Every structure is written in structure tokens, then in C-alpha cells.
Amino acid sequence: MTAHRRADIAGARRIVVKVGSSSISGTNAHNIKPLVEALAAAHARGVEVVLVSSGAIATGMPYLNLEARPSDLATQQAAAAVGQNVLIYRYQEALRPFAIVAGQVLLTAGDLENATHRSNARRAMERLLGLRILTIVNENDTVATHEIRFGDNDRLAALVAQLIGADALVLLSDIEALYTRPPDEPGATPIDTVAFDDDMTGFQFGSVVVNSVGTGGAATKASAARLAAASGVGVLVTSIDLVTPALNGENIGTWFTPDPDAIPALTTASVDTSHR
């Protein structure tokens, strides 16, 4: 059932959840356990869950004795190669008490631009979900070039939601909602709902934030949410601390209503990967 309202998330058949590097790596690695518990609860009620998880580079950094995100591509790729393995292990260990198996899918922008690769990715993910595997998606940072420098998994999550015809997309970060301007500035107020055709030019989301472990920020989440909503997927933006009420359809975060006239992605010939 397509989620037209927040409350509909509780009854969704297929959900994509995205979590950022800063929320599940370093001193915040402990967040993996409650995140997995929330995903497992949704899985137990029959929901098909796809987790788009950043964090490969950030997770690999300590193993390479790096204190900050590396600036050169080769070291980023090396950190991702080490970190992706550790990250999936942590997720699987957290899933073990629930007898849920994780499956890993690594994608690049090229995979979604090429018709054959896109079809293969969709088929593999459909089969994983049919087998009740909790599918964990990340950008293939070990081989990515342009994307590893400028991309963000918010957009990847929107494209995955579009690719598999998800009923809802939940973008998790470190803040509970989007604000009309940076939340530390005077006059900033939380945004409750964004209609699919709302004009957002008055909102000051700022530029993409690059921190010690990853890239992202309110601007990328708003852009990704608009992309998903335009393809008929309802989107909730909230914090990782609120993942359980988010998946239960409670009135939290910022809700992007889906375009009711959008053609479902599974009936279209391609997925739009162009930047907007």
C-alpha cells in the first residue's frame, strides 16, 4: 500500500530506510542495535525491508589508522573495501537474535543508468525480498569515482525506492526533522509536511555538509525526498533515534507527500538518475 500519509507507513508492504555514516559509525556505532531492532520489528509484521546504509569509509578508517575522512580517492576506496566488510558483519550480528539474514547489494550510478544492469539489480533485489532477506544497499565506493567524492546515499535511497516500487522511504539522520533554515539559526522552525508540488525556494537548507566521516545534510535529503515523492513514494525525514515511531507511522519528522498521479516505477522503462 502506497503511503500517502505518515500513518500509512505502519501498513506499508515495502519500505526503504536510509541511514547516514555519522549515525552508525565511530562513537555512534551503538546505534546499529536499536536500528536493527526497529527493522526487525517491521520485518516480523511482514514488511519487506531494504536498508540503504552509508558508512563503509567511516567504518574502515580506524582499521587504516585514519583520524579523518581521507581526501584522496585511492585511500577512500581502500577504507571502503575494509569498512564494507566490517559494516555488514555488524549488521548481521545485530540481526542474528531475530533469525534474519542480511543480503548485500552494492550499486553505482552507472548500474542504474544502464538498462541491463538496472534490470539485473531489480531482479536480484526482488528475489532477495521474496526470500525474506533484509537487503542492505550501499554505493560501491571501492570502484566509484565521481560519486565517491560528490554523491550521497540519500539520492541512492530515493533511486532504490523508485527502482523497486517501495511504498515509503524513511531518511534517517541526526536531527528529528527538516527546518526552514539551519536549526541553530534564529527563526528556524520544523517543517511538518511538504506537498509534492510545494515551492521550497523559501527554505534555507544550506549547502552539502562534509564532515569527518561522510557527506550529506538537509539539502541532499530535501532533494532526494522530492525525487522519490515525484515518483509516487511518500518520504519521511527524521532522526535515527525516532526510527521505531517512524516505522509505526507516528506523527514525527518531515513528511513529503507523494505525487498521486505518478506512474509506478515497476511499470516504467527506466529510472531517472539525472541530477535535479
Distance, in Å, from the CA atom of 217 to the CA atom of 182, rounded to the nearest integer, reads 10
Region label for 79, one of left (φ > 0), alpha (ψ between -120 and 50) or beta (otherwise): alpha
User: What residue type is 198 in one-letter code?
Assistant: D
Place of cell 532533494: 223
- Which value, in Å, is the radius of gyration of the alpha carbons in the chain? 17
Q: Is 173 annotated as a binding residue?
A: yes
- For 136, the grid coordinates are 542492505
Distance, in Å, from the CA atom of 223 to the CA atom of 214, rounded to the nearest integer, reads 17
User: What residue type is 123 in one-letter code?
Assistant: R
- For 269, the grid coordinates are 522503462
Do 59 and 25 form a contact (C-beta atoms < 8 A)?
A: yes
Place of cell 531482479: 123
Distance, in Å, from the CA atom of 202 to the CA atom of 256, rounded to the nearest integer, reads 16
Q: Is 141 annotated as a binding residue?
A: yes
Do 68 and 100 form a contact (C-beta atoms < 8 A)?
A: no
Distance, in Å, from the CA atom of 235 to the CA atom of 176, rounded to the nearest integer, reads 14
Do 122 and 91 form a contact (C-beta atoms < 8 A)?
A: no
- Map residue 183 onto helix, strand or coil: coil
Place of cell 523497486: 164
Q: Is 119 annotated as a binding residue?
A: no
Region label for 245, one of left (φ > 0), alpha (ψ between -120 and 50) or beta (otherwise): alpha
Q: Is 54 annotated as a binding residue?
A: yes
Residues at the annotated binding site for ATP?
A: 18, 173-174
Residues at the annotated binding site?
A: 18, 54, 141, 153, 173-174
Residues at the annotated binding site for substrate?
A: 54, 141, 153
